[in-house]
Structure 1
Amino acid sequence: MSANSFSAFAGPGDAARAADLRRVKILAGLVLLFSFAVFIAARMLLPVHPAFGFVAAFAEAATIGGLADWYAVVALFRRPLGLPIPHTAIIQANQAVIADKLGEFIETHFLDAAPVEAKLREVDFASFVADWLGDRKRSADLARFVLRLLPEAMSATETSGLKTFVIRRVMTQLQSVDLAPLIAGTARDFIKDARHTGLLDGLLGAVHGALTQPETVAVIKDKIRDELPTLLKLYRADAFLVKRIVASATTFFDDVRKDPAHPFRGEFDSMLLSVVEKLESEPGVIDRIHGFKRDLLARPELAELGQALWSNTRGFIERNASGESSVLAHHLANVFVEAGAALAADEEMRREINQGVVVVLRSFIAEQKSGVSGFIAEQVKAWDMRQLIGVIELNIGRDLQYIRFNGSLIGGLAGLVLYTIEVLLRLN
């Protein structure tokens, strides 16, 4: 692994930490030399006064403690003085074991279902999505990205046969739709909500308008004249009858339109309900509706219409994707922004989305955690341990050097106590 492999560990304060580590190492070495020098001086002055024995004992034990802790700290990372002493350079010698144990530890304690789910539940994924979509620039960028993908997606749909499959599935579903109950139910709701009254008024108005047209009057007049005896034709009975028919029809239509309770309205309702009942119960009517549906779906014009719609849609998308038109991008961006606003305002929807994301991620992590631990172990095994040890020592080496200070102090105190006990035993 190259020297740049651990660049991610480097920080802006590394130079200061390295200088501080050097100072602490020098200070720890000076403490060790000072302890040794005090020990030599105290042993030389021991004949002068017995008190120097206590000083010598403290300094001797402090020197030994400092040396022992220096050895322990160095042996953790490398071989002391480069000598091939067993059980030294512990981290380097156990790189593979450390890698495997680190992977197992992360899998067991970090990727276990309970802590993973607890951590995932702390994250409000839906609010993040809502805020992200609420930014118009981001939504516009997303719209442009989606538009760039759509032409390729449509081409892939055609070449992969997905388009044919979808068309067949749609046609199969349409063939399976039972139109009779659907039409009957819609008609019942139409009648129940009294929306058919407007239909009746419209029909009456259309019929009345057609009857009063000069062309219609002329046709009726000709038909009546053809049926009348010759004698009545001489007295122009046809004109009289046409006038009476139009006048009667006009009066009838006006009465029905003005009177909500007119008997004809009841007859019209009964007629519609009768048609609805036939749709629901008469096999012949149901079969005719099914036949009409089959004939309609089998018409080649319907396939041509679908192909034309597909071609027009594809052309429209390609024009927008190429930048020739920005209509679709603008509307897509608006859709994304509105979706973000709607999601931000709908707490229940956000809760459901977060729950769904937690379930998906929890399952995914549970399935992949063994692979993650194996990947971590492989990466650690591939590290250049000398460089990694340099990084570790740079970050925690200062604290490790204080072990040497503590070793000298604790060792010196222990030596002083033992020497004191020895002196007391000699006095007794």
Structure 2
Amino acid sequence: MRRTATGMLVVMAALFLVARYYESVHPGWGYVLAFAEAAMVGGLADWFAVTALFRHPLGLKIPHTAIIPENKDRIADTMAQFLRDNFLTPAVVARRMQAMNMAQAVGGFLVEPKSGTGSRIGAGAAELLAGILESLDPERLGGQVKAGLKLQLAKLEISPLLGQMLTAAIADRRHLPLIDSFVRWAGLTLEDNEEMVRAVIHERANALIRWVGLDEKLANSVLDGLYRLLAEVLVDPNHPLRAKIEEGLEKLAHDLIHDAPTREKVEKMKRELLDNPAIARWWEGVWERIRSGLIAMARNPDKGFGGILGPGQLGSSLAELGTALRDDPQLQWQVNRFARRTAVGVASRYGGQIVRLVSETVKRWDARTVTDRIESAVGRDLQFIRINGTLVGGLVGVTIHFVSGLYP
């Protein structure tokens, strides 16, 4: 565009010379001469104006030229002030977010993630996530995640939560399979340790019983009675022992919620578990598997957590979430409110830092960098100013020549 605008100026200069040579041949050449002359003036004036924005015309230190390089610090402060006043104040952020339905937009993207720009954004985000997870120190990152998880678990009082879960399970009769499993486990444990039970009975029996050989019969009777009891508990839903177990579970659920000593015991056990080195090593292994799964998922999203969830299950889950976000107004309201509060909080806490970052970044640029970036952003329109100035100047010249001919 710069060459085009300069070429027009050269054409007007050539046309001026031709018209000047043939001016006496015909009166019409006077109009051509006036057009070319005024076009050259208009083109040169606009060239000077456009050039003066970015540099000194012809290298001459004319006052009020090279405006942008000479005032880049003031421009940086003005840009930062504009950004602060129009984008990063809490009131402006809240007002702009109020008109946006981010939840619906995210939901639509999750439902149809492979359309248009969305797929490129998703692919780029996945690649960025994989790069970050691979570049960070696994041990340090795992330690930070472990420390954060431990801190959150330490703050969470799990005893009332366990009590509420157990109460709900008993109310819904979902504890019955647990009792059945416990009874079966007790039977298998008794079977595996039958010899030990027999040895204990033999040792506790007195010498007379052992002498007459009744200790073996006693051991058989005890084992048969235990097996029969466990079988009856397993097949009879109204067995008294089953009722006692349920009563114990109900009391445990109540104590977990309302009994201070029980709650303290549970919290003490939780703290001991969190401080146990074995738990720390176990979590580090779990985190490494999670990290590897996230990297595999980012590299190959269609397989979903590297095949852990099965092909396409992650995508199906995200699509279901997207459908809910897209179609549920109540969920949209909640998500949008959270997003709005988050954005307002970010603007309140970090708005000043963002503004300073913009201002300081522009100030650190050298004059040529500022000039090149602004000129490349608006350069075509600036050259159109030169082209329009050439044409408009020529038309004004023709008009003046015509009016001066009416009033010689």
Category of TM-score, reference length = shorter chain? 0.5 to 0.7
What is the 5 A alignment of 1:101-116?
A: 103=75, 107=79, 113=86
Partner of 2:55: none
1:413 is aligned to 2:402? yes
Question: Separation in 1 of the partners of 2:205 and 2:16?
Answer: 133
Residue by residue over 1:22-47, the C-alpha shift from the partner in whole angstroms, topping out at 9 and shown as x without a partner, is: 444433444455556668xxxxxxxx
**TM-score, length of structure 1 as denominator length:** 0.54
Rounded Cα–Cα distance in structure 2 between residues aligned with 1:412 and 1:133 = 56
Task: Give, in angstroms, the shift of residue 154 of structure 1.
Answer: 1.1
Distance in structure 2 (CA, Å) of the matches to 1:333 and 1:204:
41
Gaps of 5+ in 1: 1-8, 40-54, 79-87, 384-389, 420-428
Note the 1:22-421 alignment, pairs <5 A. 22-32=10-20, 34-35=22-23, 70-71=40-41, 73-77=43-47, 94-97=64-67, 100=71, 103=75, 107=79, 113=86, 130-131=113-114, 139=123, 146-147=129-130, 149-154=132-137, 158=140, 170-208=149-187, 215=194, 219=198, 222-223=201-202, 226=205, 233=212, 239=217, 242-243=220-221, 246=224, 250=228, 252-303=229-280, 305=282, 309=285, 313=288, 329-330=299-300, 334-335=304-305, 338=314, 342=319, 346-347=325-326, 378-379=367-368, 395=384, 397-403=386-392, 405-419=394-408
Deviation of 1:378 (Å):
4.1
Any conservation in 1 of the 2:160–2:256 contact (CA below 8 Å)?
A: yes
Q: Is the 8 A contact 1:28 1:401 kept in 2?
A: no
The one-letter amino acid paired with 2:15 is L
Contact in 2 for aligned 1:179/1:290 (Cα 8 Å): yes
- What amino acid is aligned across from residue 288 of structure 2 in structure 1? T
Report the Cα distance in structure 2 between the residues aligned to 1:128 and 1:248, rounded to whole angstroms: 61
CA contact 1:69–1:404 (8 Å) conserved in 2:
yes
C-alpha distance in 1 between matches for 2:365 and 2:385? 22
The amino acid of 1:26's aligned partner reads A
1:280-310 Cα deviation digits (max 9, x unpaired): 4444434443443444444454455556x38
**Cα 1:204/1:380, change in 2 over 3 Å:** closer
Following TM superposition, by how much is the alpha carbon of 1:265 offset from its aligned partner in structure 2, in angstroms?
3.2
Listed as ranges, the gaps of 5+ residues in structure 2 are 49-57, 307-311, 373-378
In 1, Cα distance between equivalents of 2:301 and 2:32: 79
**Alpha-carbon distance change, 35 to 90 in structure 1, aligned in 2, over 3 angstroms:** farther
Shift of 1:153: 1.2
TM-score (norm 2): 0.56
1:194 positional shift: 1.6
Rounded to whole Å, the distance in 2 between the matches of 1:133 and 1:68 is 49
Q: CA RMSD in A?
A: 6.4
Counterparts in 2 of 1:128 and 1:19: CA distance versus 1, 3 Å: farther
Match in the other structure for 1:85: none
Distance 1:202 1:135, change over 3 A: same
Work out the percentage of aligned pairs sharing the same amino acid.
Answer: 15
In structure 2, distance between residues paired with 1:287 and 1:22: 92
Work out which of the two has the higher radius of gyration on C-alpha atoms and give 1 or 2: 1
TM-aligned CA deviation for residue 264 of structure 1: 3.8
The aligned amino acid for 2:224 is V
Q: What do residues 249-298 of structure 1 show as CA deviations (whole Å, max 9, x unaligned)? A: 62x55554444344443332212212333334444434443443444444
**Could you give the per-residue CA deviations for residues 180-235 of structure 1, whole angstroms, max 9, x where no partner exists?**
3233223223322322212222333444566678946982895599369769958x
| Local SS of the residue matching 1:95 | coil
Contact map agreement 2:80 2:359 (CA 8 A) in 1: no
In 2: Cα distance, 1:266 partner to 1:254 partner: 15
Change over 3 Å in CA distance of 1:182–1:397 after alignment to 2:
closer
**In 1, Cα distance between equivalents of 2:365 and 2:197:** 96
Q: What is the number of equivalent residue pairs in this alignment?
A: 361
